[in-house]
């Protein structure tokens, strides 16, 4: 019982620390002159969009939640393999689904709220020093990071405690509740599905809003011969609002959903190991170990955020990396303590698996830095290619994206193999996959700090826009600081995307293993022979092969929809900017609200269908095969659905890594040129007039192509591939 108290207690401390950081950020000055006015317009636009996004998410989620209740309450009949009655199971799944969706929306709300207030304070802090702006931005990002991860732990741990208490686990006779404990994660799996579905909607809508406004503003500025984030650009406010209500909100909800799905998978695997092995002293200890480890990660992130400091001479990325090292080191200590406390005689081998995961997470930082920082060869070669035009810059960026997708997967594969070997040495049946689960907990123990780094990027991007609109001409040194921090933010965001991709691979491994184990158990309980129950994943069967094709097709269609929605909305933004230019005098102020309204409607209109289709497809495949007749193999449905999930994960992770790293490299190549490389932003002709540098213009095209790839399609795919196995687990009784 102590484990639950520790998890919830540390999570509440994380929420309290997030509140402290928000007060610290709000105590910083907002600047003078036009800075607060511009920030107020950005905040109003972001909050307008988020209110509509929130209403849409809750309405669509309510429909799916009602469907879950009706499916279990009216359609599903009692099964001997189910731990509780169908109606009771439906009630717990529906309640947990609603709480999961509400948690994802709350995480997005907090991220929007803090980012729209931290941006102007970071802009004002840049007038004082690079360090002050850095601290404001990272602590603003940490508010959403700590809130999201802590809330996910409170939600999952609190639901586990609620079911355990309802079954008498805290009473005089906890025996029935302890017997039910291995099945509790299945009863509260709706929390992960609700969080994932709401996060997918937030990523789709927020990404479309942010990147269509960004691309549209860039195209309009180029056509109107305006600088980036120029106040005369009608789309500039929508662009900066998108950084807050789109990127920050979507990523916070996405990370919460990812953390919950990963924790659920680890708990399901731990329950499976407990069932298979005699002599494990406590079911609660092994099942709650993943949550305890993640709670210690929250504690570590608090210290990591507070050590981030720099000066005008040090590369700010070094300061962010220092925070990650501190978080990883303290997380290692916490993982060792949790393993010694909860895993008994197997703790040394399993702690070794956790250490492998933590080391892999740190190694991924170096990979991301190499492929996205302008100090290294890939970004400099993209900038060099831009001298020959946009075509070669885009081609070189694509090659960087393809190459950069390989190295993280090799690292993750090596870590998985090492963790599996250490887990197998415990002698436990299923110990190998338990080692992989522990490695995942170790690698993602820094999730709260990683999300802080991710939130840092959009906050400083929006701060740079405020500086450009107000004091850039009088204080070019301030704009230079924000440009430098913005380039660092691109690398930080790319790191979070790589973490999400690595987590998707391992989390899917756990969830598919749990799915297969549970379907085998139910099939055996339903009368299937044990030999038949073990005949799984026969790749040669037509339904397995075709389901894998369906999974890959879903990912490609999903990516196409994300990019197409951004392209359509960006075109409308460009048309609106042209209309305003032709309809108003040159001295008149642009109508920013018209672009905000236009982009909001377009983003919300394109997000519902992809999310519903993605959630419905694995259910349709499973039910279709179930009713098509698979008597020769009781687990044919399990084979096919597992193949769909794994194929979609591989395609999605590769695609997301390609899109994210290529987009980040294109963006930083543009910023590298702004610093003066290859002639800088402008050239001077023979008359002494300042003209656009063709190299910079070519790099801008690459950046415009990369924006929807790295910040719209890529993040949404991460949530998609983690939602698919959770959907199948929630509806598992209908497939077997």
Tens of pLDDT, residues 612-647: 999 999 989 888 887 776 555 656 778 888 889 989
Q: Residue 539: its pLDDT value, please?
A: 61
Structural domain span for residue 346: 2-734
pTM: 0.92
- Residue 75 — very low, low, confident or very high, per pLDDT cuts 50/70/90? low
Q: Residue 530: its pLDDT value, please?
A: 43
Q: Residue 76: its pLDDT value, please?
A: 61
Judge whether 572 and 216 are in contact, CB under 8 Å.
Answer: yes
Please give the average per-residue pLDDT across 345-371, as a whole number: 91
For the chain, the 3-state helix, strand and coil shares in percent, each to the nearest 5, are: 85, 0, 15
Question: Could you tell me which residue, 605 or 140, shows the higher pLDDT?
Answer: 140
Question: Could you tell me which residue, 596 or 75, shows the higher pLDDT?
Answer: 596
Report the C-alpha gap between 139 and 325 in whole angstroms.
17
Report the C-alpha gap between 387 and 96 in whole angstroms.
55
Q: Residue 82: its pLDDT value, please?
A: 65
Report the C-alpha gap between 565 and 602 in whole angstroms.
8
Q: What is the pLDDT of residues 434-464, one digit of tens each?
A: 899 899 888 888 889 998 998 998 999 899 8
Query: CA angle, corner 147, sides to 141 and 149, nearest 5?
Result: 100
44: its two tokens: 């109003």
- Residue 53 — very low, low, confident or very high, per pLDDT cuts 50/70/90? very high
Has residue 78 got a pLDDT over 60? no
Report the C-alpha gap between 712 and 451 in whole angstroms.
17
Report the C-alpha gap between 164 and 565 in whole angstroms.
45
Show the DSSP H helices in 373-446 as ranges.
377-385, 390-424, 431-443
Please give the average per-residue pLDDT across 57-76, as a whole number: 87
Q: Residue 21: its pLDDT value, please?
A: 96
- Residue 585 — very low, low, confident or very high, per pLDDT cuts 50/70/90? low
Three-state DSSP state, 66 = helix
Number of domains within the chain: 1
Q: Residue 531: its pLDDT value, please?
A: 40
Q: Residue 79: its pLDDT value, please?
A: 58
Has residue 428 got a pLDDT over 60? yes
Please give the average per-residue pLDDT across 585-601, as a whole number: 80
Q: Which of the residue ranges 116-130, 381-395, 528-542 would you say has the lowest mean pLDDT?
A: 528-542
Q: Residue 445: its pLDDT value, please?
A: 85
Q: Residue 633: its pLDDT value, please?
A: 60
Has residue 279 got a pLDDT over 80? no
Report the C-alpha gap between 176 and 198 in whole angstroms.
34
The rounded percent of the chain whose pLDDT value lies above 70 is 94
Which residues, in sequence order, are CB contacts of 318 under 8 Å at separation 6+? 310
User: What b/e sequence results for 286-299 when a residue is b if at least 16 CB atoms lie within 10 Å of its CB, and e otherwise?
Assistant: bbbbbbbbbbbbbb
Q: Residue 88: its pLDDT value, please?
A: 86
Q: Residue 667: its pLDDT value, please?
A: 87
Has residue 534 got a pLDDT over 60? no
């Amino acid at each position: 019982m102590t484990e639950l108290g520790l998890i919830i207690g540390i999570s509440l401390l994380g929420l309290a620390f997030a509140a402290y950081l928000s007060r610290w950020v709000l105590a910083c000055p907002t600047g003078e002159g036009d800075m607060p006015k511009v920030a107020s317009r950005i905040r109003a636009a972001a909050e307008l969009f988020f209110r509509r996004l929130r209403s849409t998410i809750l309405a669509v989620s309510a429909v799916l939640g009602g469907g879950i209740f009706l499916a279990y309450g009216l359609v599903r009949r009692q099964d001997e393999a189910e731990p509780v009655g169908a109606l009771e199971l439906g009630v717990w799944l529906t309640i947990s689904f609603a709480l999961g969706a509400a948690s994802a929306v709350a995480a997005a709300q907090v991220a929007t709220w803090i980012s729209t207030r931290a941006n102007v304070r970071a802009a004002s802090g840049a007038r004082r020093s690079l360090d002050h702006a850095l601290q404001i931005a990272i602590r603003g990002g940490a508010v959403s990071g700590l809130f999201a991860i802590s809330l996910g732990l409170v939600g999952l741990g609190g639901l586990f405690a609620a079911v355990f208490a309802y079954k008498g686990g805290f009473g005089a006779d906890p025996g029935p509740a302890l017997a039910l404990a291995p099945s509790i994660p299945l009863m509260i799996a709706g929390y992960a599905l609700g969080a994932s579905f709401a996060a997918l909607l937030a990523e789709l809508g927020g990404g479309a809003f942010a990147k269509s406004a960004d691309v549209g503003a860039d195209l309009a500025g180029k056509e109107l011969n305006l600088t980036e984030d120029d106040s005369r650009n009608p789309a500039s406010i929508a662009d900066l609002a998108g950084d807050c209500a789109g990127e920050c909100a979507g990523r916070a909800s996405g990370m919460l959903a990812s953390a919950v799905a990963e924790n659920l998978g680890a708990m399901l695997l731990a329950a499976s190991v407990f069932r298979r092995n005699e002599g494990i002293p406590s079911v609660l200890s092994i099942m709650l170990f993943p949550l305890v480890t993640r709670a210690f990660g929250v504690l570590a992130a608090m210290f990591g955020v507070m050590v981030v400091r720099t000066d005008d001479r040090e590369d700010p990325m070094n300061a962010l990396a220092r925070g990650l090292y501190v978080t990883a080191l303290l997380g290692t200590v916490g993982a060792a303590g949790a393993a010694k406390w909860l895993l008994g005689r197997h703790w040394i081998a399993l702690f070794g698996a956790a250490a492998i995961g933590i080391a892999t997470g740190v190694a991924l930082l170096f990979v991301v830095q190499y492929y996205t920082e302008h100090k290294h060869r890939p970004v400099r070669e993209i900038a060099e290619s831009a001298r020959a035009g946009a075509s070669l810059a885009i081609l070189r960026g694509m090659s960087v994206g393809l190459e950069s997708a390989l190295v993280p997967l090799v690292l993750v594969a090596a870590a998985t193999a090492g963790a599996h070997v250490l887990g197998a040495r415990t002698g436990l049946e299923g110990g190998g996959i338990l080692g992989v689960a522990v490695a995942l907990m170790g690698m993602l123990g820094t999730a709260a700090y990683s999300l802080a780094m991710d939130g840092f990027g959009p906050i400083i991007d929006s701060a740079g826009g405020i500086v450009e609109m107000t004091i850039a001409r009088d204080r070019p040194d301030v704009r230079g600081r924000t440009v430098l921090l913005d380039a660092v933010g691109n690398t930080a965001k790319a790191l979070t995307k790589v973490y999400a991709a690595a987590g998707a691979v391992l989390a899917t491994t756990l969830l598919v293993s749990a799915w297969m184990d549970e379907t085998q158990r139910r099939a055996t309980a339903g009368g299937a022979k044990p030999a038949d129950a073990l005949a799984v994943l026969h790749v040669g069967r037509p339904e397995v092969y075709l389901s894998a094709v369906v999974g890959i097709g879903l990912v490609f269609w999903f990516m196409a929809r994300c990019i197409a929605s951004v392209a359509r909305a960006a075109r409308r933004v460009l048309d609106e900017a042209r209309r305003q230019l032709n309809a108003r005098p040159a001295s008149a102020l642009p109508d920013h609200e018209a672009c905000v309204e236009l982009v909001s409607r377009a983003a919300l209109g394109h997000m519902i269908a992809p999310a519903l289709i993605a959630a419905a497809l694995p259910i349709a495949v499973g039910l279709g095969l179930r009713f098509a007749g698979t008597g020769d193999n009781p687990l044919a449905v399990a084979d096919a659905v597992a193949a769909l999930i794994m194929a979609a994960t591989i395609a999605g992770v590769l695609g997301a890594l390609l899109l994210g790293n290529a987009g980040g490299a294109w963006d930083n190549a543009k910023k590298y040129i702004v610093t003066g490389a290859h002639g800088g932003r402008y050239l001077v002709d023979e008359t002494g007039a300042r003209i656009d540098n063709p190299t910079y213009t070519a790099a801008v095209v690459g950046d415009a192509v990369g924006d929807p790839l790295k910040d719209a399609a890529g993040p949404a795919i991460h949530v998609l591939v983690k939602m698919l196995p959770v959907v199948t687990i929630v509806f598992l009784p209908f497939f077997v």
